[in-house]
Structure 1
Amino acid sequence: MYVLAANNIHKYFREPTEFHVLKGVSFSIEKGKFVSITGKSGSGKSTLLYLLSTMDTDFEGSIQINGEELKGKSNRWLADFRNQHIGFVFQFHYLLPEFSALRNVMLPGLKRSIHSSEEVEHKAYELLKLLDVGEQAGKRASLLSGGQQQRVAIARALINDPIIVMGDEPTGNLDSRNAAIVFDLFQQLASERGQTMLMVTHDDEFAEKSDRIIHLADGRIVPNES
């Protein structure tokens, strides 16, 4: 069974004039795979990610995650689905600066409200240790280095055991050393924990090390590079 399946996705921007951004995009991703979406600026890669992440619901076609059709669902249903099943890592970490690293990781788990705060705290700390920032757990997010902040953001993305983790240029704000560390973490999560990863990137070196590249050009997947 595929974790994610996109079938014949079309996306239009209506303003200021109609523009056909995605043109019949179809692909599927198996569990535990590390997949990169690449393409030049304007190719549609970030637009595609926002559709797949349910942040944008205005499209034609079908998107299924874990066998669940997302097209036609209400915003409230999608918000709950996102919190339960999708983890996000962005170019900027979006941590709450005055909260500790530990508290930042805990927040999505507390929002889900299916485990006690003690259980969420324990799991958050274990994730921070896994990502080699356990010793930073009590430190305010604003006092962490850029690489540490991004690792905390990855831990936050994992707190609810998502079916898939999606990223939009997750190494875009990092220097080459920290970018390599983050890539290695993604690879470890995929190979050792069976975590499915889908990352939009402009970094060719990052993409080439992933299990699979989905390359977009002018809103279509380029067959020989997918």
Structure 2
Amino acid sequence: MNLITVKNVSKYFLQPTRMQVLNDISFEVEKSKFITITGKSGSGKSTLLYLLSTMDTRFEGSIRINQEEMLGRNNSWLADFRNHHIGFVFQFHYLLPEFTVLRNVMLPALKLRRYPVAEIEHRAMELLQLLGVGEQAHKRASLLSGGQQQRVAIARAMINEPLIIMGDEPTGNLDSYNSAAVFELFRKMSAEKGQTILMVTHDEDIARKSDQTIHLADGKIDEIMVR
């Protein structure tokens, strides 16, 4: 079953002058797959991921996620959709340094209020343990290493059990050891929890190991590689 269907999507930046950054993009993503988006800087890959994240709906064409059309939705509907269905991991972790690791992971679920606080805390601890940073739970986030902080960011992205986890160069600031570890964690989430992973990356090793790679060049799909 296709979880994401992108049809004839084009995107323009209007400032300082009108410039096309995505040109007639079409592809499909099946549920529970690990997808990488690659291309040189300026190829449009981060712009595409931003559209898929629903944080920008100023585009031409159609993006359907979980059978819902994103174009034309109001901001309130989109925010609710993201909270329920999408987890995002950035290149920089964006943890709140004054909060504990545990509290950082709990925050999205506390906002969603789907479960009681005690259950949210239990689920957050389970995720931190799964990701190998359970012993750091009660430390301030600022005291962790870069690799540990990125694992916490992944736990935070997973706390609401999203259908899709999106990552914009989530291993870009990590060394090769931690990059490989983060990839394996994403692969495990895809296999064991049925989550779909979409990751923008420059890492050729990660791209080769993914289920499908969408390679962009000059705002167009240059090649789609299915493994």
CA apart distance, 1:225: 4.3
Match of 2:11 in 1: 11
Question: For 1:116 and 1:107, how far apart are their aligned partners in 2?
Answer: 13
| Pairing 1:5-154 to 2, within 5 Å after superposition | 5-154=5-154
Match of 2:183 in 1: 183
- Regions of 4+ moved over 4 Å: none
CA apart distance, 1:224: 5.7
Q: 1:224 to 1:66 in 2, by over 3 A?
A: closer
Question: Would you say the 8 A contact 2:213–2:224 is kept in 1?
Answer: no
Question: For 1:31 and 1:132, how far apart are their aligned partners in 2?
Answer: 26
Question: Would you say the 8 A contact 2:212–2:224 is kept in 1?
Answer: no
- The percent identity for this pair of structures is 68
Question: For 1:65 and 1:125, how far apart are their aligned partners in 2?
Answer: 29
Q: 1:224 to 1:171 in 2, by over 3 A?
A: closer
Question: For 2:150 and 2:196, how far apart are their aligned partners in 1?
Answer: 18
**How many residues are treated as equivalent by the alignment?**
226
TM-score (norm 1): 0.98
Question: For 1:138 and 1:123, how far apart are their aligned partners in 2?
Answer: 15
What is the SS of the residue equivalent to 1:191? Answer: helix
Question: For 2:184 and 2:200, how far apart are their aligned partners in 1?
Answer: 16
| Pairing 1:172-211 to 2, within 5 Å after superposition | 172-211=172-211
Q: What is the root-mean-square deviation of aligned Cα atoms in Å?
A: 1.0
Which ranges in structure 1 are unaligned for 5 or more consecutive residues? none
Greater alpha carbon shift after TM alignment, 34-43 vs 190-199: 190-199
Question: For 2:48 and 2:22, how far apart are their aligned partners in 1?
Answer: 7
TM-score (norm 2): 0.97
Which ranges in structure 2 are unaligned for 5 or more consecutive residues? none
Question: For 2:199 and 2:193, how far apart are their aligned partners in 1?
Answer: 17
Post-superposition CA distance 1:142-171 (Å, at most 9, x none): 001111100000000000110100000000
